[in-house]
A and B are shown apart, each in its own frame.
Chain A
Amino acid sequence: MSELLEIQRRVAAAVMHPLTRQETMPRRRSNGVSNTAEADALIKPNDRLTSFERLEIYNRQYWFRLYSSFEEDFPGLMAIVGRRKFDTLMRAYLTDFPSASFTLRNLGSHLEQWLTEHPEHIEPRKNLAMDMVRLEWAHIEVFDSAVEPLIDPDDLSELHDGSQLRLQPYLRFLELRYPVDDLIIEVRSEGGSSDGSSNNASISRKHRKVRHIASLAPEEIHLAVHRHENSVYYKRLHREEYRLLTTLSTGETISEAIDMAFAESAIPEEERAPFLQAAFQTWSSLGWFIR
């Protein structure tokens, strides 16, 4: 193994190891390795700082940068579980899933899956928290996903039952158990945002204002997370609309999607045609159909 690779692996192991509760570098890692010994072996001391203290600057910077990004991405989750539990959850998740991407944007990409395996972090409000995480991750994806050219109006008018309709790649559809769309709008309106990637250093942790959610009544919500003029919006859907759109998004034909939409539907037969016409008109005006 190259000496450079060995040094980088050893430094990364120290830098990416979780901080103590006091947000300092632990003297000993969870696997028993001494950070003091590793720092002494790798890093020169100077007249003001020990090797340990110099390495600790990077250890703290690493975690503060990740905390800042994660907190900015999931303020709704923080509001639901509270600051203390959120901190524990965040440390545990980021330890299991350190960044594997050049961009911090993808930091939360495994969070939903991880929380299904670690529900203890979001009990007793598991369903509410899971709904919020799904919405917050969808928001991140919708914000900067690709946009495709819209379908030609002539092509739209020539569609028939056996046609397929392609949807904008940025669209996400969610079936939720709580009205977390209202909640996140409220939470986000109270917080700021950072400036994405930068190359400056920070040695202190910035604490965001946390809004605590006392209670939220369950409510079945079907939601489209979409973009209009490059801003992210949440559009509530009827259950039938949700089923139609999610079926279309899997590549099924319009006819199959309509059958799926109205299976077990309470909408009377005679109202279905105008219902569909209005829905397609709205989606088309929002630019959801592509070539």
Chain B
Amino acid sequence: MPANRFNSFTEYGVGIGLRIPHYHHILSEKPVVDWFEIISENYMVDGGRPLQVLDQILEQYNVVQHGVSMYFGSASNPDPEHLKKLKRLVKRTKTPWLSDHLCWGSVDGRYTHDLLPMPYTWEAVKITADRIRNVQDFLEIPVVVENVSSYAEYHASEMTEWEFINEVVEKADCGILLDVNNIYVSSQNHNFDPFTYVNAVPADRIAQIHIAGHSKFEKYILDTHDHPVLEPVWQLYARTIERAGPTATLLEWDDNIPSFEEVHAEALKANQFLQAAAKPAVPQLTEVAR
């Protein structure tokens, strides 16, 4: 039973990111994994090994696409060639939904290859929501948008980040990929209570959750994806599951990548929260008495 109308894939459970150092292990050992998330851009090619490996993975596993360069919040128009390549990949993977970030990263045809934070303005809400709708219409699959971690805030902002994401997903009528690690990182960098953020986003739009590790520096926290998930992030995850119900969850580990078993074991820690959320609530005595 789906937890909400943007989450028809509650049975997806806990996945991990498909990364090159694990290719050999996955293809030779065929470990049991609920699903893999792929970075779309790494497979938006015309041929060669990336597609060969992807096809082998697709034969045995559920795969969900996650993008890093759609830049829903860029004021410049998207590259039509990018969209065409993405659609070809969507047809190949049959991804049940597609996620990318609520950020910008390109302007006037130049790409920063970074997930730059949005100015939270009403104009940005409109531009971003329009683009998400257009992409969703073009790709013909559900699109979900992910909150990014950030290290800067704009003077121009007219609302909080969670107010911005709520306005965008409402106007675009799309789901949310809630990255609870990103919320934690941003909360430390911008001095807000991360639970305020988690409690503010519409639970009925949370289609997927990201968990990851981060790195603390003297004056800020960086979203490095090179550590196990830290306790404050697990707490935010637990609260999110409590609100949204069982939700497809994905561990990101992109740097200093350990063995497949270690990454998978870290991801599976999410199961304790998912299983707790999946249990039917125990009826209270007063209700039984009635």
B219 & A58 in contact (Cβ 8 Å cutoff):
no
B108 to chain A, nearest CB (A): 7
**B-contact bits for A138-152, CB 8 A (1 contact / 0 none):** 000011111100000
The answer to whether B39 touches A197 (Cβ under 8 A) is: yes
Stretch at the interface among A61-69, A126-134, A257-265: A61-69
* CA A103 to CA B86, docked complex, whole Å: 12
Q: Are A202 and B255 in contact (CB under 8 A)?
A: yes
When distances are taken between beta carbons in the complex, the residues of chain B under 8 Å from A196 are: 20, 39, 41-42
Instruction: Give chain A interface residues in 39-76, CB to chain B under 8 Å.
Output: 41-44, 46-49, 51, 53-55, 57-58, 61-62, 65-66
Contact status B110-A200, CB under 8 Å = no
Cβ-defined partner of B123 (8 Å) among A3, A12, A231 = A3
Of the listed stretches B57-65, B222-230, B237-245, B262-270, name the one at the interface; the rest are far from the partner chain.
B222-230
| A99 adjacent to B111 (CB under 8 Å) | yes
The smallest C-beta distance from A141 to any residue of chain B, in angstroms, reads: 10
> Is A9 in the interface zone, CB < 8 Å from B?
yes
Chain B residues, CB < 8 A from A48: 219-220
In the bound complex, do residue A58 and residue B50 qualify as a contact, i.e. CB atoms below 8 Å apart?
A: no
A193 within 8 A of B: yes
B47 at the interface (CB under 8 A from A): yes
Minimum CB–CB distance from B19 to chain A (whole Å) comes to 5
- Residue B278 lies at the interface, judged by CB distance under 8 Å to chain A: no
A266 — which chain B residues lie within 8 A by C-beta? none
Q: Decide: A12 and B107 in contact? CB cutoff 8 A.
A: yes
Beyond A8-B107, A54-B152, A195-B257, whether A65 also contacts B20 by CB under 8 A is no
Cross-interface CB contact of A11 among B44, B50, B116, B124, cutoff 8 Å: B116
When C-beta atoms are compared, the residue in chain B nearest to A5 turns out to be B75
Which A residues are CB-close (under 8 A) to B20? 193, 195-196
- Nearest-CB residue, chain A, relative to B119: A7
Given A61-B114, A198-B68, the answer on whether A46 and B191 have CB atoms closer than 8 Å is yes
Asked if A30 lies at the interface with its beta carbon under 8 angstroms from chain B, I say: no
Q: Cα distance A145–B217 when bound, in Å?
A: 41
- Asked if A102 contacts B154 (CB within 8 A), the reply is no
Interface contact tally, CB-CB below 8 A: 174
Q: Which of A8, A100, A193, A197 has the most CB of B within 10 A?
A: A8
State in angstroms the CA–CA spacing of A43 and B156 once bound together. Answer: 8
Please provide the chain A residues from 198 to 242 with a CB less than 8 Å away from any CB of chain B in the complex: 198-203, 227, 230-231
Partner of A199, one of B75, B123, B220, B252: B252
Q: Which residues of B contact A100 (CB under 8 A)?
A: 109-111
How big is chain A's contact interface, by range? 35 or more
From known contacts A46-B189, A144-B47, A198-B39, infer whether A7 and B156 are also in contact, taking CB-CB under 8 Å: yes
Across the interface, which residues of A come within 8 angstroms of B226, CB to CB? 200
Bound together, the chains give a CA A65 to CA B68 distance in angstroms of 14
Q: Which residue of B lies closest to A197 (CB)?
A: B41
**A99:B21 contact, CB within 8 angstroms:** no
> Which B residues lie within 8 Å of A11 (CB)?
116
The CA of A143 and the CA of B110, in the complex, are separated in Å by: 24
Question: Is B220 in contact with A57, judged by CB distance below 8 angstroms?
Answer: yes
Closest 8 CB pairs of A and B: A200-B225, A144-B45, A5-B75, A146-B46, A144-B48, A200-B254, A196-B42, A54-B152
13 A-B residue pairs with Cβ-Cβ distance under 8 Å, sorted by A, are: A3-B119, A5-B107, A7-B156, A12-B108, A12-B112, A58-B151, A66-B113, A99-B110, A100-B110, A143-B49, A144-B45, A196-B39, A198-B39
12 further A-B contacts with Cβ under 8 Å, apart from A54-B151, A145-B46, A196-B42, are A2-B75, A2-B127, A4-B121, A5-B75, A8-B74, A8-B116, A49-B220, A62-B112, A99-B113, A199-B66, A200-B223, A230-B52
